[in-house]
C-alpha cells in the first residue's frame, strides 16, 4: 500500500474544490481510503470503494464505520473482476491510484470505458509511476481527453483529466 501523501492530496482537492459536492465517486484501489474520506468530508454524495486486500479492507471497515453508511459502499473484491461487470450508473469522478509496476492503469481505463463507468463529464484522477499523455489516455479510453492538471512529486506522477466525449 502506498497512500497518497498529504501534500499531493491537498493539491488534488484544491484542483477539485468546486467539483466534489453531490458527486458520485469510484475508488477502485482504495488502499487507506484517504482520498475517499476527504471527498466525503467535502460533500461527495456517495463514494464506492474497492479493496482487494482483506486486511486493508478490514481497516477500511473500521475507519468508515463512524460515517453514515449512505455516504459510502465498501467492496472487498479484486477491482479488475468488479469492474468487468456492466454498470448502469456512471460516476462523476474516479480516483485511479493502483499499485505501481503492475500495468493496472491501461486495463482499468479500458474497463471503465467498456463497462459504462464513465459519462462525458467524468473526471479521472490518476497517480502513476509515469506521466500520462493524451495519447496514452485516448488509446485506453477510446475518446479525446484533456489533461487539466498534472504534477510530479518524487517518483509519483499525478494528474486530473476530463473526457471530451464518449
Span 56-61, mean pLDDT?
Answer: 94
Mean pLDDT score of the chain, rounded to an integer?
A: 90
Q: What is the pLDDT of residue 136?
A: 85
**How much of the chain exceeds pLDDT 90, in percent?**
68
CA distance 56 to 166: 34
Q: What is the pLDDT of residue 7?
A: 80
Span 52-80, mean pLDDT?
Answer: 91
Instruction: Judge whether residue 165 has pLDDT over 70.
Output: no
Homologous superfamily (CATH) of 22-163 is Vaccinia Virus protein VP39 (3.40.50.150)
User: Which of 27-31, 39-43, 68-72 is the least confident region?
Assistant: 68-72
Asked if residue 61 lies in contact with residue 74, where contact means CB atoms within 8 angstroms, the answer is yes
Q: Where are the domains of the chain?
A: 22-163
Amino acid at each position: 500500500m502506498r497512500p497518497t501523501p498529504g501534500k499531493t492530496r491537498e493539491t488534488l482537492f484544491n484542483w477539485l474544490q468546486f467539483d466534489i459536492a453531490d458527486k458520485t465517486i469510484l475508488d477502485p484501489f482504495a488502499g487507506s481510503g484517504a482520498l475517499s474520506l476527504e471527498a466525503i468530508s467535502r460533500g461527495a454524495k456517495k463514494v464506492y470503494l474497492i479493496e482487494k486486500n482483506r486486511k486493508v479492507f478490514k481497516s477500511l471497515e473500521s475507519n468508515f464505520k463512524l460515517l453514515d453508511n449512505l455516504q459510502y459502499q465498501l467492496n472487498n473484491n479484486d477491482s479488475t473482476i468488479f469492474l468487468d461487470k456492466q454498470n448502469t450508473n456512471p460516476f462523476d469522478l474516479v480516483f485511479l491510484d493502483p499499485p505501481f509496476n503492475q500495468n493496472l492503469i491501461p486495463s482499468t481505463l479500458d474497463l471503465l470505458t467498456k463497462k459504462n463507468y464513465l459519462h462525458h463529464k467524468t473526471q479521472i484522477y490518476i497517480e502513476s509511476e509515469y506521466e500520462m499523455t493524451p495519447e496514452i489516455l485516448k488509446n485506453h479510453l477510446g475518446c479525446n481527453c484533456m489533461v487539466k492538471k498534472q504534477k510530479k512529486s518524487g517518483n509519483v506522477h499525478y494528474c486530473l483529466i476530463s473526457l471530451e466525449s464518449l
